[in-house]
Amino acid sequence: MDKFLDIDGVSKRFVKETTLGERIARAMGAGGPPEVVRAVSEVSLSIAKGEVVGLVGESGCGKSTLGRMVAGIYVPSAGAIRFDGAPVAKPAGRRVEKLTTRVQMIHQDPFASLNPRVRVVDTVAEGPVAHGIVGAKHSDDYVADMLTRVGFDAAMRRRFPHQFSGGQRQRIAIARALAMKPDLLVLDEPVASLDVSIQAQVLNLFQELRRDLGLTAIFVSHDLGVVRHVSDRVAIMYLGRIVEVAPTRTLYAAPAHPYTKALFESVPKIGAGRGVFKPIAGEIPSPLAPPPGCHFHPRCPAAGPRCRREAPRLVETGPGQRAACHLHDGGVA
């Protein structure tokens, strides 16, 4: 497969910041070990050019962290992310230096992702001007062009973000990303904070842009319906690991992993009638202390002794479909 984006054995650990007092206590032998969150552990996934891959999961599953590593906001603690053969970002001291402008990100909340004190025109223009994608002289026309492309009235570009509704702001955020001429977009819950009637507008826009510009994208979302709508392939994550990845149609028609199945059944559906869903039992464990073996085993109806001991590998269960479950890899006993 064409590895336009190659996520290769990537892990990300966050160590809880310690205060001076805690460090002294620890140096003197008191206090516990530092709290480490394994947000993402050993995830591998490659994405072909022009493909849209959905990343789905509940809170703490690591989907946003993985998206942010691809977008060059975080660097992996282990493993590598290569985009078109080169890393997206590298560590620079405690911070991160992003190495490419070809990967751009769109955030969930357009009320937070646009600087309230910067005019729309400057928000969209500053990146391309800083990187010489467009000359400062021509930036105004360039911005107008970008805004028109996202269905936005370019005459409003001198306004400030607070003068726009949520849907309009998300269009501005999309225009800002497009202005960088990206080859890969990371969309982190791009419609989750929008009203239902506005969601459809933004999803349609995304589909249009995808068709016109041949975009490759990672679409992070908790909404199974939205992901099904936009993705060619879907990866389901649970507590830092990919538990299943498959072409969209296959996954929704015949999920292979017990978590995927349970997730589909637990979601309320429109028009399915009252109470026709089976919630998954139990709580999502804390990512600070995930269960041993398969992370899903405490909630899994099919779990066996092997699931408590051994973490399952991703194995082929069908054409293009892989699942990390012992049921498909020699049984749970």
Partner 1 sequence: MSDVVLSVQGLETAFSTRAGTFKAVDGVSFDVGRGEIVGLVGESGSGKSVTGYSILGLVEPPGRIVGGRVELDGENLLALAPEKMRRMRGARVAMVFQDPMMTLNPVLRIGTQMIAAVRAHDPVSKADARTRARDALGIVGIPSPEERLDAYPHQLSGGMRQRVAIATALLHRPAVIIADEPTTALDVSIQGQILAEVRRLADETGTAFVWITHDLAVVSSLADKVCVMYAGRIVERGPADDVIASPRHPYTAGLLASVPSLHEPGAPLPQVPGSAPPPLQRPEGCAFRPRCARASEACLADPPLATFDDARRAALCHHPIEPDAWTSFSTSTASRNAS
Partner 2 sequence: MSAAASAPSRRARLADAWWEYRQSPVAVIALAIVVLLLAAAFLAPLFAPQDPYDQAALDLFDARLEPGSVGGGGYVHLIGTDGMGRDLFSAILYGLRVSFTVGIAAGAVALALGASVGLVAAYYGGRIEALIMRTIDLQLSMPAILLALVLVAVLGQGMGPLIVALVAAQYAYFARTTHGAASAERRKDYIEAALSTPLPARRVLFKHLLPNALPPLIVVATVQVANAIALEATLSFLGLGLPMTEPSLGTLISNGFQYLLSGRYWISIYPGLVLMVLVVSINLVGDQVRHVLNPRRGR
Residues near partner 2 (CB under 8 A): 71-73, 93-98, 101, 104-105, 107-109, 112-118, 126-127, 130, 159-160, 163, 173, 176, 180
Opening angle at CA 76, ends 47 and 88, nearest 5: 55
- Tokens 């001291």: give the residue: 93
- Asked if residue 280 binds partner 1 (CB under 8 A), the reply is yes
Tokens of 124: 């969209």
CB of 71 to partner 2, least distance (A): 5
Q: Which one, of 88, 108, 104, 110, lies nearest residue 180 by Cα?
A: 104
Point out which span in 11-19, 35-43, 102-110, 249-257 binds partner 1 (CB under 8 A): 249-257
Give the separation between CA 167 and CA 189, rounded to whole angstroms.
13
Interface mask (CB under 8 A) for partner 1, residues 140-179, using x and -?
A: -------------------------xxxx-----------
Of 139 and 321, nearer to partner 1 (C-beta) is 321
Alpha-carbon distance values, 145 to 25, 163, 263, 269 (Å): 58, 20, 42, 39
Window 181 to 220, contacts with partner 1 (CB under 8 A): 195-201, 203-204, 207
Opening angle at CA 113, ends 144 and 38, nearest 5: 140
Of 58 and 84, nearer to partner 1 (C-beta) is 58
Give the separation between CA 78 and CA 97, rounded to whole angstroms.
17
Residues of this chain that interact with partner 1 (CB under 8 A) are 58-59, 165-168, 195-201, 203-204, 207, 222, 224-226, 228-230, 248-249, 252-253, 255, 262-264, 266-281, 283-284
